[in-house]
Chains A and B, each alone.
Chain A
Amino acid sequence: MRNRSIIILLGITLILACKKNTNGPKTTENKKDRELILRYYADSIIIPAYDTFKTEFDLLKSSAENFAANPTESSLAALRSSWTKAYIRWQTVELFDFGPGEKYTLRNFYNIYPADTTGIKNNISNTSANLEVPASYPQQGFPALDYLINGVGQDDASIVAYYTDLSNGNKRTAYIRRITDRMSTLLASVMNEWNGSFKETFVSKTGLDLNSSTSLMVNGLVLHYERYIRSGKIGIPSGAMLNGTPAPDKVEAFYRKDISLALAKSAHKAYVDFFNGRSFISGNQGSSLKTYLDALDARDNTSGKLLSQLINEQFVLVESKLDLLQPNFHQQIISNNDPMKNAFNEMQAAVRMLKVDMTSAMSITITYTDNDGD
């Protein structure tokens, strides 16, 4: 008797459940397969993105070597141009702060700003200075190169003179080499792991517990958006964070100045593309956080809109605010800080959706905690 009533109840439930599903195709099972998503991310975005970055970086490295061997205004211009291109391209891989990228803390050695100019000067005279410790982060990577090729003189002639100086010029060019060599080695380590056995490890850890690939990846991504796009590029220099005091000298690429918007846009676009699974090779969309959220049917019940759509709409809103900014954030903050704050506010709304709505829908615990305060 009791068994029968349970069966009846189950039957009713099944009918209810099936009825609910008639409004969408029920071929979503494999779209919930995290192994497929992880493999797609590794093959179609992460590994090709590193490859593309490496091409740009190698150009930077060779032009740095040219400049170091023969500092002239023209080799400086060449170096500056390849540095700019590589820096913009760097934004498309900085977000991979999980797996090897996290293991080698690539971001810490590549892009912690503002640059520590005193430390850089000390390192130039002390050729055995330790570049592995946290204090050395802002003394290397793109921000240090920014200072070294844009900030050591008033104009190109005086910058070249800084490197042709008879007593110190060689040490200075040697430091440029040291930094680019170091960046090259680190990048090679990270890429070797992705091209080696790590990829299969990454793809095989399909769970959603603390040490699973999806969890580590999503935690890294949410952290990236919150701390390195929202706070680093916009929130901290504009003073929208913390005590409200603008700090225009904390913009990314402070010495070059006019590429801060390009860097922010590159980072944001890379993020949106990653979310939507836009292949680095074909440009088409594939398995991604977006398709996973859609397969889970994560949506706003009041409007019926998919969560992925709402997140994408918010991304578009952020981009529209970025479009209103000058190429030079330093100038933007000094002349009119409000558009910066507006961009920050839209990014803040995106952070909430990523950090709360997305992770909750995916049943992922946010393990990193916020440290927007220091």
Chain B
Amino acid sequence: MMGIKGYFDRVTSIAPLVFFRVCFGLMLMFSIVRFWANGWIHSLYIEPSHHFSFYGFEFIAPPGQYTYILFALCGLSACMVALGLFYRVASVLLFLSFTYIELMDKSTYLNHYYFISLVCLLMIFLPANRSFSLDVLRNKRLEAGLIPNWNIDALKLMLGIVYVFAGLAKVNSDWLLHAMPLKIWLPARNDMPLIGPLFNYEATAYIFSWIGCIYDLSIPFLLLNKRSRPFAYFTVITFHVLTSLLFPIGMFPLIMIVAALVFFPARVHQHIISRLQSLAGRPKNITEDRSIYRNPALVRWIFISFFAVQLLFPLRYLAYPGELFWTEEGYRFSWRVMLMEKAGYAQFTVKDKTGKRTVVNNTEFLTPLQEKMMSTQPDMILQYAHILRDHYADKGFVDPEVYVDSYVALNGRLGKTLVSPAVNLSAQTESFKPKNWIKPFNDDIKGF
């Protein structure tokens, strides 16, 4: 048995970490370029007249036209991370700029962006520039061939947490017993070549649901095990390529396919790096460098607390009454991916004591994406109600009252009222407390 101290002292080759750094930086750069090229900076952050900030982060908002500079900064720091140039500064900048972007509007929230933010945070504390980097080229003394093994385990753990929680989230009656929402999503792709006709069969949705759940729960362990690793990685590729063909999930499949490489032993990474180095005319073997890097003592504790939070945070939904899928209290930042087909309709009425009354035209305030997200998520409905309250107060309404007529359908159930239509939302405040103005779901989704 290896003791805890022994575990933290064990060293290993830095190759997997530096290879991860390069891939991660390049992927983020590509991600930013793709985002820019699709015109999303404008349509998601500049065009909308209002933004849905995160509770506690209301000071974070898109800086108008400067949003382009923010993205440029993020892309540039990603590039510097990939190159290992001014790594400390670059990694901090990358974390801050990327996280700032993600916090600007919750209608663009995606779990894999959250994953990237967290990895960026970890990368600040990892010695990923100590080899195969421009920093080493500038300053030979930085170079280290060996690092504490737990540095690499931390990345594996992060990936493992994502997969296992995503898998646990699928252990629920909608997913496993009713094959929802795949039963709805798959027939929509029945015109795909070759596999399309399969999606006409309900059984396919069940098989995909079960495989998806088993895949998520088991893949980190299969990747850890030397014997199952090649098979597991093959599954990773198949699974993520398939999901990217089926669903519009952007960069996520690529990120996971590349990130899972970290599970491979150092010699694989070393091999790739050597090839790259010989391409650049500087063949060198990282593992030949026997100098050891040791993290500052504080870093170990930062990581331990980080992972303690990571293990607990996705479980915070347990503290709320009501059905998680319905109220979405504790839904974000919990690795709940592709679990719901949720559609809604929300029509707001603003009135005041003096008899003024208006039915709100949502397009005056929100983009189609924002409206779609808002209409199914209670916290966004409340935020929007406050936007309306303030807007109509400026327009001469005296203490405007805001009411919503909402109708939401979840995973094939018929729609029903999400928010109590009798509650004046302008008088409700956001908090971490349960929102008692959400109407009960009156159904039971069993499981996690």
Q: Is A bound to B?
A: yes
Residues of A within 8 A of B (CB): 2, 6, 9-10, 13-14, 16-18, 20-21, 28-29, 32-35, 206-209, 241-244, 296-298, 300-302, 307, 310, 351-353, 355-357, 359-374
Question: For residue A296, which residues in chain B have a CB less than 8 angstroms away from its CB?
Answer: 184, 187
Residues of B within 8 A of A (CB): 177, 179, 184-185, 187-191, 197, 200-203, 205-207, 209-211, 214, 218, 228, 248, 341-345, 347, 356-364, 366, 368, 371-372, 407-409, 412-415
- The 8 residue pairs across chains A and B that have the minimum distance between CB atoms: A373-B361, A363-B188, A360-B343, A17-B203, A206-B191, A17-B206, A29-B200, A208-B188
CB–CB B207/A372 < 8 A:
no
Question: For residue B214, which residues in chain A have a CB less than 8 angstroms away from its CB?
Answer: 6, 9
CB–CB A10/B210 < 8 A:
yes
Smallest CB separation, B50 vs chain A (Å): 14
Instruction: Known pairs A207-B191, A243-B358, A310-B414; list 15 more (Cβ under 8 Å).
Output: A6-B211, A14-B206, A32-B187, A32-B200, A207-B189, A356-B408, A357-B414, A357-B415, A360-B343, A360-B412, A361-B412, A369-B362, A369-B368, A370-B363, A373-B364
A370-B361 contact in complex given A355-B345, A360-B184, C-beta closer than 8 Å:
yes
Question: For residue B207, which residues in chain A have a CB less than 8 angstroms away from its CB?
Answer: 10, 13-14, 17
Smallest CB separation, B416 vs chain A (Å): 10
CB–CB A365/B360 < 8 A:
no
Question: For residue B190, which residues in chain A have a CB less than 8 angstroms away from its CB?
Answer: 32-34
Question: For residue B360, which residues in chain A have a CB less than 8 angstroms away from its CB?
Answer: 373
Smallest CB separation, B415 vs chain A (Å): 4
User: Complex formed: what's the CA distance from A362 to B207 in Å?
Assistant: 20
What are 8 of the A-B contact pairs (CB < 8 Å)? A208-B188, A242-B359, A300-B413, A351-B345, A356-B345, A356-B407, A365-B372, A370-B347
Question: For residue A371, which residues in chain B have a CB less than 8 angstroms away from its CB?
Answer: 361, 363
Closest to B190 in A: A32
Question: For residue A16, which residues in chain B have a CB less than 8 angstroms away from its CB?
Answer: 177, 206
A360-B409 contact in complex given A6-B214, A32-B187, C-beta closer than 8 Å:
yes
Q: Which of A13, A20, A207, A302 has the most CB of B within 10 A?
A: A13
Question: For residue B248, which residues in chain A have a CB less than 8 angstroms away from its CB?
Answer: 209
User: Complex formed: what's the CA distance from A296 to B187 in Å?
Assistant: 8
User: Complex formed: what's the CA distance from A2 to B368 in Å?
Assistant: 46
CB–CB B343/A359 < 8 A:
yes
Closest to A352 in B: B407
A352-B363 contact in complex given A14-B206, A17-B206, C-beta closer than 8 Å:
no
Interface contacts (Cβ under 8 Å), in number, total 127
A20-B188 contact in complex given A9-B210, A370-B347, A373-B359, C-beta closer than 8 Å:
no
From B197, B409, B414, give the contact of A29 (CB < 8 A): B197
Closest to A3 in B: B231
From A2, A244, A301, give the contact of B413 (CB < 8 A): A301
A356-B412 contact in complex given A32-B187, A363-B184, C-beta closer than 8 Å:
no
User: Complex formed: what's the CA distance from A371 to B371 in Å?
Assistant: 12
User: Complex formed: what's the CA distance from A302 to B214 in Å?
Assistant: 30
Question: For residue B408, which residues in chain A have a CB less than 8 angstroms away from its CB?
Answer: 356
CB–CB A353/B359 < 8 A:
no
User: Complex formed: what's the CA distance from A244 to B359 in Å?
Assistant: 9
User: Complex formed: what's the CA distance from A355 to B407 in Å?
Assistant: 10
CB–CB A352/B359 < 8 A:
no
CB–CB B414/A369 < 8 A:
no
CB–CB A243/B415 < 8 A:
no
Question: For residue B414, which residues in chain A have a CB less than 8 angstroms away from its CB?
Answer: 300, 302, 307, 310, 353, 357
Smallest CB separation, A63 vs chain B (Å): 40
From A302, A310, A363, A369, give the contact of B371 (CB < 8 A): A369
User: Complex formed: what's the CA distance from A355 to B211 in Å?
Assistant: 32
Smallest CB separation, A111 vs chain B (Å): 21
CB–CB B361/A374 < 8 A:
yes
Closest to B367 in A: A369
Smallest CB separation, A40 vs chain B (Å): 16
CB–CB B413/A352 < 8 A:
no
CB–CB A13/B363 < 8 A:
no
Smallest CB separation, A26 vs chain B (Å): 8
Smallest CB separation, A239 vs chain B (Å): 11
Smallest CB separation, A150 vs chain B (Å): 31
Closest to A297 in B: B202
A361-B361 contact in complex given A17-B206, A300-B414, C-beta closer than 8 Å:
no
Smallest CB separation, B388 vs chain A (Å): 12
CB–CB B188/A366 < 8 A:
no
Question: For residue A363, which residues in chain B have a CB less than 8 angstroms away from its CB?
Answer: 184-185, 187-188, 341
CB–CB B362/A370 < 8 A:
yes
Smallest CB separation, A367 vs chain B (Å): 6
CB–CB A352/B184 < 8 A:
no
CB–CB B343/A366 < 8 A:
yes
From A35, A244, A372, A373, give the contact of B191 (CB < 8 A): A35
Question: For residue B345, which residues in chain A have a CB less than 8 angstroms away from its CB?
Answer: 351-352, 355-356
Closest to B360 in A: A373
Smallest CB separation, B146 vs chain A (Å): 34
Smallest CB separation, A14 vs chain B (Å): 6
Q: Which of B191, B347, B366 has the most CB of A within 10 A?
A: B191
CB–CB A243/B206 < 8 A:
no
User: Complex formed: what's the CA distance from A139 to B412 in Å?
Assistant: 45
Closest to B202 in A: A17
Question: For residue A18, which residues in chain B have a CB less than 8 angstroms away from its CB?
Answer: 203
CB–CB B415/A356 < 8 A:
yes
Question: For residue A366, which residues in chain B have a CB less than 8 angstroms away from its CB?
Answer: 343, 372
Closest to B345 in A: A356
Question: For residue B361, which residues in chain A have a CB less than 8 angstroms away from its CB?
Answer: 370-374
User: Complex formed: what's the CA distance from A365 to B366 in Å?
Assistant: 16
User: Complex formed: what's the CA distance from A111 to B206 in Å?
Assistant: 48
A361-B184 contact in complex given A13-B207, A32-B190, C-beta closer than 8 Å:
yes
Smallest CB separation, A15 vs chain B (Å): 10
Question: For residue A17, which residues in chain B have a CB less than 8 angstroms away from its CB?
Answer: 179, 202-203, 205-207
Q: Which of B211, B344, B358, B414 has the most CB of A within 10 A?
A: B414
User: Complex formed: what's the CA distance from A6 to B214 in Å?
Assistant: 8
Question: For residue B356, which residues in chain A have a CB less than 8 angstroms away from its CB?
Answer: 243
From B211, B363, B412, give the contact of A301 (CB < 8 A): B412
Q: Which of B202, B341, B357, B366 has the most CB of A within 10 A?
A: B202
Smallest CB separation, A253 vs chain B (Å): 25
User: Complex formed: what's the CA distance from A238 to B3 in Å?
Assistant: 79
Question: For residue B407, which residues in chain A have a CB less than 8 angstroms away from its CB?
Answer: 352, 356
Smallest CB separation, A103 vs chain B (Å): 21
Smallest CB separation, A193 vs chain B (Å): 23
CB–CB A28/B347 < 8 A:
no
Question: For residue A357, which residues in chain B have a CB less than 8 angstroms away from its CB?
Answer: 409, 414-415
User: Complex formed: what's the CA distance from A6 to B228 in Å?
Assistant: 15
User: Complex formed: what's the CA distance from A372 to B405 in Å?
Assistant: 14
User: Complex formed: what's the CA distance from A300 to B342 in Å?
Assistant: 15
User: Complex formed: what's the CA distance from A300 to B443 in Å?
Assistant: 13
Smallest CB separation, B178 vs chain A (Å): 9
Question: For residue A362, which residues in chain B have a CB less than 8 angstroms away from its CB?
Answer: 184, 188
User: Complex formed: what's the CA distance from A366 to B412 in Å?
Assistant: 16
Closest to B184 in A: A363
User: Complex formed: what's the CA distance from A225 to B413 in Å?
Assistant: 22
User: Complex formed: what's the CA distance from A357 to B414 in Å?
Assistant: 6
CB–CB A34/B341 < 8 A:
no
Question: For residue A9, which residues in chain B have a CB less than 8 angstroms away from its CB?
Answer: 210, 214
Closest to A298 in B: B412
CB–CB A13/B412 < 8 A:
no
